[in-house]
Amino acid sequence: MKPISRRIFIKKSLLGLAGYGLASGFLGGLPVEATTGESAAPDLKDECLSFIHVTDTHLDLGKPQSVSWLEMFVERINKDYSHIDLVVFGGDNFNNNVPGQKDAETFKKIVDQLKCPWYSVRGNKESSPKPANDPLNQDDYAKMFFTSGAKVSGRDWSLEKGRYTILGVDTTIEHHNNGMFTPESMDFVEDQLKNNKDRYFILLNHQVYWNFWGEKDQAAIHKYVLNNADQVKKRLFKYPNLKLTLSGHKHLDNVTRDGHVNVISTLGFIVPQGTKKDHQFRVVEMKNGNIVRQQVAGIL
């Protein structure tokens, strides 16, 4: 599907032309709330957000093709998605398996070529360096990657874009594949939700919120699903201004809802070996806190 420009998207979504409205139903697997010919908001940019979610790029200096794929991703976004507001990277961005910071520096050098702002959270690869005493620890990662307007709170960050706030939550556990919300992260997110009721919130983290692929092995569930997912959902998903969560880690694609919260896991950019799928990412466009368009695209 050919991407629409931001100008056209805003025009169709917000100008309030007589009789225009989105039909109720499903769009790209997500329920879409019906809208009518509502009048334009005072500031259109406050109501709309378009972004790309890409996760598990797994840049590896021992695998030159993985470097080329990331370069192709940047070229594709700059060429065909110039209308988007930002790109968010969902963890396991690089494999962190060489001494020093060269892989992190290579990742940053490539994605800095994006013509739009970009932000990232850590995955288990970044929190499990090889060798184990690699100097790119949590603080080093924050200094290198928490830039461009994000407000840092411990190991997490927040970013405001119009009426939207994206919360980057580090759910990793040092030297482990599994993950969880720390008490500090839970407090950070709930404080934001509780005290900013007029804003729309998006959570970005690495591990997924539920066993959507029907895993039977408890060890595998422990590895991929947030270890305190039930607690997180009970405490945070009750807030109506939490609109969307974005995860990766499992390398499988899933789009669903938990109550009013859209819960998305995006296919790993480094696709499982043996598949024929392109190196993919997800394009999301939101209006008034609701997803009005989402699609999966590839670098080719």
Q: How confident is the model at residue 33 (pLDDT cuts 50, 70, 90)?
A: very low
Tell me, yes or no, whether 1 lies in a domain.
Answer: no
Q: How many domains does the chain have?
A: 1
**Does any domain span residue 65?**
yes
pLDDT confidence bin for 22, thresholds 50/70/90: very low
In a domain, 201, yes or no: yes
Domain hosting 98: range is: 6-298
Contact (CB, 8 A) for 271 and 54: no
Over residues 65-74, the mean pLDDT reads 96
Which residue is listed with tokens 């990232």?
120
- Compute the radius of gyration of the chain from its Cα atoms: 19
What is the SS3 string spanning the chain? CCCCCHHHHHHHHHCCCCCCCCCCEEECCEEECCCCCCCCCCCHHHHEEEEEEECCCCECCCCHHHHHHHHHHHHHHHHHCCCCCEEEECCCCECCCCCCCHHHHHHHHHHCCCCCCEEECCCCCCCCCCCCCCCCCHHHHHHHHCCCCCEEECCEEEEEECCEEEEECCCECCCCCCECCCHHHHHHHHHHHHHCCCCEEEEECCCECCCCCCCCCHHHHHHHECCCHHHHHHHHCCCCCEEEEEECCCCCCEEEEECCEEEEECCCCCCCCCCCCCCEEEEEEEECCEEEEEEEEECC
Has residue 59 been placed in a domain? Answer: yes
Q: What is the mean pLDDT of the chain?
A: 85
- Domain CATH number, residue 268: 3.60.21.10
Digit-coded pLDDT (tens) for 142-151: 888 887 789 9
